[in-house]
Structure 1
């Protein structure tokens, strides 16, 4: 029978508001099961008959019987006619299963594989659900035409019915692949066909696939210096050896590939809008890059980062469109151009890579949601995507200029801004003698989100500074954040 403390424990569990969503018999069953798991009810211990237990708990006898039947079905108790119920002999397997771990065991690091250690060691790629100035790489979502998206989604459901609830092909829905190919060819000067498009969840997934399918652990990959942190972490997790190539006003210094890239298997770059400097790879360097890759049997991994948001004329054609040898993997995403919650990115692949990349993707997460893909395809086909990007381009350039004015008004004693021709963030380099880490920590305490530039460099003498995102924030929101940032800088430099 139950001791007084055990009965009170069952009563407390049953009456706990946190369990209000569980049926009454389920609460009783879980309370008794927990006593068994904790070892408080030993093997062979008789349980109270259903009638007196029901009276003690203030419930019906049927409720207790339902709880006992479930415990019996799960093997926690044994029931015999005329003998009542008792804790099952099999409870020896259960007893103590939920006992608290020893403190020293809980503090021990888990035993991970070498690959697991590499993955954990990268620190991952942080995302923010409620961004605040000046978190970079975050698009404005408050202006998105949700009413249009909702209408198109309803049209898709009416047309396709329950088929939108089914699996999508691992390569992606045909209508979306066709629309993406048309967009790349028209807007980016690419050579894309629907059969060479692979729909993914993000550019980060594309980078992970490239790192693991195109190279082996220990292989050399040429990268920009500085470079996008999501790419560096994907490559580090795959065990690749990154070889930094300096960036100047014309992008990656491609001439250095001949000296530093003789045995490299691939090169990664963001030619349309280099992250974080904003430089655009010149045409002659693009052509030289294509020639190098063909001569060295290497892959070009082209992340067309922020290519939609170019503020001074049309951007140069993508490298993929200049490559007749099919050595280029082109990566794009709708996370920045539309909204992060969409979770749709893509690759345009050389023909020989379509099958292996699709198989690998199917092992990672199967496929992208069918309904989202069909809705996006319709959104693009109807011209809404182009109209939205044009509208946001105007908003973003105005916000870039507003941030530039704020920086010059409040931070001119501390930073030198580098005005980008496109993108969603403004690089600002510190004047000599300013401790970047102290500024980042002070800003964090002041509630200002920042990305430091030093961590994006591989060189030993990087130029410290800040990367200020502006796309997701109104001029008023940026002004409210720039003032505490100025206070932090004055404190760090001893001006207050």
Structure 2
């Protein structure tokens, strides 16, 4: 019986020998270099599907490496599905190559464009969710350290030593158990501390069971939209108003209906209720953002009654009402009447520091039976040491003492900024929103386009926000700046406003 002929050894593919493997200090291991070379050749089509690779001994001799290096690379590629070993040797698997390469492995036109030439968008990059087209970047970047930026607290005045002690106690007392997931709705100790604080400081009617700890107010707003609305539902928003709320509502596929804001806050007419009935209403009643208006008692009661009648929910964002500069603190809308149709949202980003990323959502008692189950699936209890430390920080009185110090500081800074504007801003203007919070709103005429002013200010080391960027869409009256004073020392306001005045006059 004649012997079975031995199949001829495959030719050494030139692609494997076209460049030597790197051996200089700091180079990748030879096995990883060989693995990547083979992988890229297969994906680019330079090693055709079904082609047989040379044996490990022959390839090792051709590359000047050990046979074990080749065997290890072959085994890894086989495990990943690029190669198929059989009795005849090792073959290239049949793969559907990425569309970015042609049949001959040449890059498409957009990959060969020269620097500076126009490039075509990647096909997949054109298939983003349509809702993203309505979420526009602010252009402010991450310039959190620049003066006059709204929404940034006085970080240099935060009691780091006391916070470090609270963290140390939380880590020591909780032990390794706190490294696991916690309660989805938040640490019970923090939920109880938040409920007690809100009851005393903001007049909120709630039990710890109604409190949900979130990753800042933004997650709380997203939860409200996802849990209480369906795609295509309508949401009312203040105009001008907080951009983050608009982004959260749009990301839930809601249709936004902007309502104007005057000195008494949100203006909703009977025509609005008749023609544009909402599912959700977002409102900042105690200190409207960014104008600083306070929703009057008459409008609060009317809004609550209409919400009950139309079966919609109010989302109350109480973002910085802890810092009232004149008179007593204005109570929360949520606590105005029993069983209010209000979801109350708050954050520790302004009262403590932004990177803490802790906020809270107070659910109406009527929603608890229906939402506790879904929330348990949507949320994962994390940041447990920070939550436990914050609970101790609040229960020890450190939180209340810090708030007291910050109220006095921000009152002084607000007064200094108002004085600097009156003395040094040499263009006609109107100051709004000076009785609470961390910012002032300054309106001026169209002679000075606020977007251009804000951009010029950024180039000169300041970070105010253009008022028109908060409007949907901006009108002639929405021209001005939102000036933060939380992160800026009082003695800096005069030279900053002088600089701002000069650049406005130069436009």
Question: 2:272 is matched with which residue: 260, 266, 272?
Answer: 260
Query: Where in structure 2 are there 5+ consecutive unaligned residues?
Result: 1-10, 102-106, 111-118
The 8 Å contact of residues 416 and 428 in structure 1, kept in 2 or not, is answered as: yes
Deviation at 1:306, TM superposition (A): 0.6
> TM-score, normalising length from structure 1?
0.84
The 8 Å contact of residues 283 and 316 in structure 1, kept in 2 or not, is answered as: no
Question: 2:505 is matched with which residue: 475, 480, 490?
Answer: 490
SS in 1 for 2:314: strand
* Distance change in 2, residues 1:153/1:220 (3 Å): same
Deviation at 1:162, TM superposition (A): 2.0
The Cα RMSD (Å) is 3.3
**Partner residue, 1:274:** 288
For residues 16-415 of structure 1, the aligned pairs below 5 Å read 17=26, 23-43=29-49, 44-47=51-54, 49-50=56-57, 53=60, 56=63, 60-78=66-84, 86=90, 88-90=91-93, 92-93=94-95, 99=101, 100-103=107-110, 106-108=121-123, 110=125, 112=127, 116-123=129-136, 128-131=141-144, 132-253=146-267, 256-262=268-274, 263-362=277-376, 364-415=378-429
Distance (Å, rounded) in 1 between the aligned partners of 2:312 and 2:377: 25
* Distance change in 2, residues 1:181/1:73 (3 Å): same
For residues 424-463 of structure 1, the aligned pairs below 5 Å read 424-431=438-445, 433-458=447-472, 460-463=475-478
Distance (Å, rounded) in 2 between the aligned partners of 1:54 and 1:398: 78
Q: What per-residue deviation string (whole Å, max 9, x for no partner) do you get for residues 44-69 of structure 1?
A: 25347458737955x65544443333
Distance (Å, rounded) in 2 between the aligned partners of 1:16 and 1:414: 66
The 8 Å contact of residues 10 and 31 in structure 1, kept in 2 or not, is answered as: no
SS in 2 for 1:142: helix
Question: 1:470 is matched with which residue: 485, 489, 499?
Answer: 485
Distance (Å, rounded) in 2 between the aligned partners of 1:147 and 1:435: 44
Deviation at 1:203, TM superposition (A): 1.6
* Distance change in 2, residues 1:437/1:128 (3 Å): closer
Query: Where in structure 1 are there 5+ consecutive unaligned residues?
Result: none
Aligned residues: 479
Deviation at 1:160, TM superposition (A): 2.0
* Distance change in 2, residues 1:323/1:465 (3 Å): same
Relative to structure 2, which stretch is displaced further, 325-334 or 230-239? 230-239
The 8 Å contact of residues 452 and 467 in structure 1, kept in 2 or not, is answered as: yes
Distance (Å, rounded) in 2 between the aligned partners of 1:299 and 1:342: 28
The 8 Å contact of residues 38 and 97 in structure 1, kept in 2 or not, is answered as: no
Deviation at 1:191, TM superposition (A): 0.7
The 8 Å contact of residues 144 and 338 in structure 1, kept in 2 or not, is answered as: yes
* Distance change in 2, residues 1:443/1:126 (3 Å): closer
Q: What per-residue deviation string (whole Å, max 9, x for no partner) do you get for residues 343-383 of structure 1?
A: 11111111222344445545555344222222211221111
> TM-score, normalising length from structure 2?
0.83
* Distance change in 2, residues 1:47/1:401 (3 Å): farther
The 8 Å contact of residues 176 and 373 in structure 1, kept in 2 or not, is answered as: yes
The 8 Å contact of residues 56 and 67 in structure 2, kept in 1 or not, is answered as: no
Q: What per-residue deviation string (whole Å, max 9, x for no partner) do you get for residues 200-229 of structure 1?
A: 112222222223333334444333332212
